[in-house]
A and B are shown apart, each in its own frame.
Chain A
Amino acid sequence: MSSQLATQSSSYNTAFRALLEKTGNAEPSWLRRMREDSFAHFERVGFPSVKEEEWKYTNVAPIAKLQFVPAFANGQPGGNGFGAFVYDEARRSRLVFVNGMLRRELSSVEALPAGVSVIDIGEALAKGPNETSLRESLERAAKSESGFTALNTALFSSGAFVFIPAGVSVAAPIHLQFISESSHGAAAASFPRVLVVAAENSAATIVESYASPGESVYLTNAIVEVRLGAGAHVQHFKVQRESTSAFHVATTDAELGANARYDATTINMGAALSRHTIDVTMDHEGAECWVDGLYMVDANQHTDTHSMIDHRQPHCTSHQLYKGILDGKSRAVFNGKVFVRHGAQLTNAQQTNKNLLLSNEAQVNTKPQLEIFADDVKCAHGAAVGQLEADEIFYLESRGIRPEPARNLLTYGFAEEVIEKIKIDSIRRELDQAVLNRLHTTL
């Protein structure tokens, strides 16, 4: 392990030095110190190993082995072919990042009402008013033990800062689009960093999407934090359709104020290896969250979702529905944890994970966990791995549909239960098509 560590550090070390040189004194000194501490932490712990319970089923050795070049030190791919990734509803409310760097000429925030900020995180750090909330958020993440988080903190150079003022409802979905592509033979690595602050009683929809015009090898290591004030309502749709040769490691961290509501739907279809850690903390009464997702993988893809719903205060509600469709030699990991702390009475927490194995070489590891330290609660989880219902297939066949399309239709329906939670037509259409393509079928 130590020799491996040496190669990865040297690659990231060079990048880290280059970043410090580039930012120079433009960044606040606390940030520079934080980056240095985080990088030191990363060099100490490296990437996680399968010996750690949290990474038991996901081996990130391939990431450690590759020589990635952080994107800010790399040439920028042009803007050709990126148009395909635009969602109509967000045409004038989006930031586009290419290899982790904001591309202003591809972005537009015209549709956003006054007072709403959707800006580059670097810009936000430079301007006074947001520095405190950014600093708080970065410091919190810096406490994480994870090597990936540390690496992001050390190396992020772009990303988004979104601020919705109190009482404001934003109609247009705010689209944060991350496009990656490696060129010139070096694998790009990008470290997107996003902070969304939705103040009291505000409402907004955030779309976070990852895509690539090609099939190159690159690494995305993202951290997205969402802070909801009292009574705020945020819908958060994440669509991960990275290149199937890419690596995607991301953390979503949401904190909910009193009576806040957070609806997250995550679609994982891309990447050779993807890992999504989604943590929702409910430290105020009356908060409610829906944390749903679909992973659909094929060939040699590996996808891993770790969710953690932390009920710290009474009267909070959480719902989770994660579904998986596995084909080829793919592998999926789902680890869903519901934590009900001492005193969090009248918690209502439900979690469901369902998996369809389409191939005999696919493998699923699921571990729905409950950890409960309060007695007056309603908590339940269920997990299932299996096939389509024979009765359902028969029903379709009895209507004259051949077995193969009958199966495809039912598989599509299985995915649809999650996809339909995304309340944006063009995204839903795109995903419907993607699912059908994966099944080699049409409707």
Chain B
Amino acid sequence: MLEIRNLYASVDGNEILKGINLKVNKGEVHAIMGPNGSGKSTLAKVLAGHPSYEVTRGEVLFEGKNLLELSPDVRAREGVFMAFQYPIEVPGVSNAQFLRLAYNEKQKHLGQEELDPLEFKDLLKEKAKIVEMEASFMTRSVNEGFSGGEKKRNEILQMAVLDPKLSVLDETDSGLDIDALRIVAEGVNKLHDPNKAVILVTHYQRLLNYITPDFVHVLSAGRIVKEGGKELALELEEKGYDWLKNGSVAAGAK
């Protein structure tokens, strides 16, 4: 589904990603871990097409298409979803309005039926159950005045509504208490199926207790330095990231 080849990216002239290679197939859950500043979030933003990040080398194929030449909104309509670490507030625009517009844009893009406000309300009600959200959230402005946990749940709700092929969750566990973490993780699990893929970007192993990854990739200084199965995450939890710095770099990770 997704193939990243030798990806280099920089922001304000500073090179952050220095040759990332990663392949994600349908049905897989990948965890990208690494210390602060290793480039995890940059990778997520580059996949979504954040304008501040410049890709200087390499390519990204999504379902065989060159993802990098698509604008962020087209990527989204093609099925790439990113859950933001810090979801943005949009004053005056209700959650329902916003989501219906996004939903219909995608439907239009796929040549499928658009929903009127009433039909969409039913859909939204259904999806809101997945993240245990109250109906009242739908009429409130997007993320405005939401608590940290509510914002993250709102991200998963959007994921549920937009039904992406590839979901990139950027530090979705940060700032969540245990209950909110459970709701969010269960939401992600419920939404997952063999035709979809998930990339979890996370600093801590905690989230992986709830969402079991098939593969774990460790990022350091813009490169993948170690890869393995879910047990790698536990190892990291135990030893921290420091031991990676001591030369045990898996040079040229595949």
Are chains A and B touching in the complex at the 8 Å CB cutoff?
no
